[in-house]
């Protein structure tokens, strides 16, 4: 076959595929992660699955302050800005327990449903109570309850959703459908945050494995968004191991020593039960490898709401408040077709994540979003086939 004709056939096939088959996108939030921790873990080979996604994809530092200048970088406003593309002044999710029905703008999962797609949220901030237009929802309080049913948790989380009439999951029988029934006796003692993360990881893995069963599980999720909270929580209490004083260098040697000594999930109450800073990353990497082997996604996005730095606050050596600008930079990475392998994009905004994910999903881009599609993350040849703003609408609202 003539090489030029072969190229045209391939382009036509690609265009046909893009037109007929909706891409599947996985967004993994690593709460409190920054490149000072993630980079040495990847370079050491400790995170083979995350490392492959980062090294073969495009990456950037993620500036969290645009979400809410006054409280940078408090988790709920930032995570909601990542999901909506709007600042706090518009989305209005400002607290740990602010209800989803108080959100002033649509999130990506609402937009996916609006255009006929299927969305899943797992342990994502501001998603309780479950919204009626989202197909699969695993809320934080629901996962906390399941964590207590599966493990003998300590320092349990008091979320108001656990004592409320609103549902904790959507559909309500989803745990039975994916085989996450509680055991007769709780498992070993476990920090509640780790229990939530493990339930979150199992929920998404089992949901994807259950695809192909009877309705409603047979509908494949086009957008899945999950947050793992462990990296943030353990860094708060153990960050002093990596950074001796404010504005001092972050040392990777203690982090890599943790990896050498790590022998699996941490149990037992604190202070030793907090585990190493690297522990949540090692668990997330193993889970991600299992998930992608079972059901590959077209695109995987790694993102965090902020970083971490040395604090002088008693009992918490790590912090990320508005007065610590070193912690205002999180992580962003995207992997998939058309992405520039190994590209460093510099500093980008949390407001850029939602339009970029919408582009990955072939959704029209809302013109009223303050952020932008990160077109520099993609090969020029790819953008000629799929221009970043080929399809726009005035707003998603």
93, 63, 90, 121: which is closest to 353 by C-alpha? 63
**What residues have CB less than 8 Å from 381, skipping those under 6 apart?**
none
Which residue do the tokens 């595929």 mark?
17
Q: Which pLDDT does position 15 carry in this prediction? A: 40
Which regions of 18-167 does DSSP assign to beta strands (E)? 25-30, 58-63, 119-122, 136-138, 151-154
Does pLDDT of 19 surpass 60? no
Q: Which two tokens stand for residue 250?
A: 């972050």
Q: What gap in Å lies between CA 391 and CA 397, rounded to an integer?
A: 16
pLDDT for 257: 94
Q: Is the pLDDT of residue 213 over 70?
A: no
Listed as own residue / partner, the contacts of 185-188 with beta carbons closer than 8 Å and 24 or more positions apart are 186/148, 186/149, 186/150, 186/151, 186/152, 187/150, 187/151, 187/152, 188/151, 188/152, 188/267
Residues 6 or more apart in contact with residue 145 via CB below 8 angstroms: 162, 168
Contacts by residues 174-181 (CB-CB < 8 Å, ≥ 24 positions apart): 174/136, 174/138, 174/207, 175/146, 175/203, 177/210, 177/213, 177/216, 177/217, 178/203, 178/206, 178/207, 178/209, 178/210, 178/217, 179/206, 179/210, 180/146, 180/206
Pick from 164, 165, 174, 166: which is nearest to 199 by CA? 174
Q: Is the pLDDT of residue 129 over 90?
A: yes
Tell whether the model's pLDDT for residue 18 goes beyond 60: no
pLDDT in tens, 347-380: 999 999 999 999 999 999 999 999 999 999 999 9
Mean of the pLDDT values across residues 100-127? 96
Distance in angstroms between the alpha carbons of the first and the last residue of the chain: 49
pTM, entire model: 0.93
| Position 384 pLDDT exceeds 90 | yes
Question: Are 226 and 153 spatial neighbours (Cβ–Cβ below 8 Å)?
Answer: no
pLDDT value of residue 2? 37
Least confident of 17-31, 54-68, 182-196: 17-31
Q: Provide the pLDDT confidence category of residue 182 given band limits of 50, 70 and 90.
A: confident
d(CA 111, CA 119): 9
Confidence of residue 131 (pLDDT cuts 50, 70, 90): very high
Question: CB of 305 within 8 A of CB of 76?
Answer: no
Hey, is 211 helix, strand or coil?
A: coil
Tens digit of each residue's pLDDT (9 = 90 or more) over 221-260: 899 999 999 999 999 999 999 999 999 999 999 999 999 9
What number of other Cβ atoms are within 10 A of residue 32's Cβ?
30
pLDDT at 20 > cutoff 70: no
Q: How far apart are CA 172 and CA 163, in angstroms?
A: 16
pLDDT for 211: 66
**Domains of the chain in sequence order:** 23-393 (3.40.720.10)
Q: Is a pLDDT exceeding 90 seen at residue 117?
A: yes
């Amino acid at each position: 076959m003539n090489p030029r004709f072969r190229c045209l056939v391939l382009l036509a096939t690609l265009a046909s595929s893009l037109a007929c088959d909706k891409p599947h996108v996985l967004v993994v939030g690593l709460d409190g992660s920054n490149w000072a921790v993630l980079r040495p873990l990847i370079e050491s080979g400790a995170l083979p699955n995350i490392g492959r996604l980062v090294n073969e994809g495009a990456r950037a530092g993620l500036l969290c302050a645009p979400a809410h200048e006054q409280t940078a970088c408090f988790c709920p406003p930032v995570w909601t800005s990542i999901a909506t593309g709007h600042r706090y002044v518009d989305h209005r999710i400002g607290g740990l327990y602010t209800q989803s029905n108080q959100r002033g703008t649509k999130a990506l999962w609402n937009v996916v449903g609006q255009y006929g797609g299927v969305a899943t949220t797992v342990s994502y901030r501001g998603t309780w109570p479950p919204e009626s237009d989202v197909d699969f929802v695993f809320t934080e309080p629901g996962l906390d309850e399941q964590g207590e049913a599966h493990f003998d948790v300590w320092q349990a989380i008091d979320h108001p959703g656990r004592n409320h009439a609103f549902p904790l999951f959507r559909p309500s029988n989803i745990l039975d459908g994916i085989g996450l029934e509680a055991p007769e006796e709780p498992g070993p003692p476990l920090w509640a945050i780790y229990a939530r993360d493990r339930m979150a990881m199992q929920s998404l893995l089992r949901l994807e494995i259950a695809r192909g069963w009877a309705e409603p599980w047979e509908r494949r999720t086009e957008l899945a968004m999950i947050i793992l909270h462990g990296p943030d929580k353990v860094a708060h209490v153990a960050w002093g191991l990596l950074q001796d004083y404010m504005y001092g260098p972050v040392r990777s040697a203690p982090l890599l020593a943790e990896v050498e000594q790590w022998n699996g999930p941490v149990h037992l109450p604190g202070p030793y039960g907090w585990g190493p800073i690297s522990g949540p990353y090692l668990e997330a990497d193993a889970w991600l490898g299992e998930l992608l082997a079972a059901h590959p996604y077209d695109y995987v996005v790694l993102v965090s709401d902020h970083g971490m730095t040395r604090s002088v606050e008693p009992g918490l050596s790590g912090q990320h408040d508005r007065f610590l600008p070193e912690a205002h930079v999180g992580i962003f990475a995207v992997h998939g077709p058309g992405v520039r392998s190994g590209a460093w994009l510099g500093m980008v905004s949390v407001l850029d994540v939602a339009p970029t994910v919408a582009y990955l999903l072939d959704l029209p881009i809302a013109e009223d979003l303050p952020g932008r599609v990160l077109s520099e993350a993609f090969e020029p040849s790819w953008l000629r086939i799929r221009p970043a703003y080929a399809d726009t609408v005035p707003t998603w609202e």
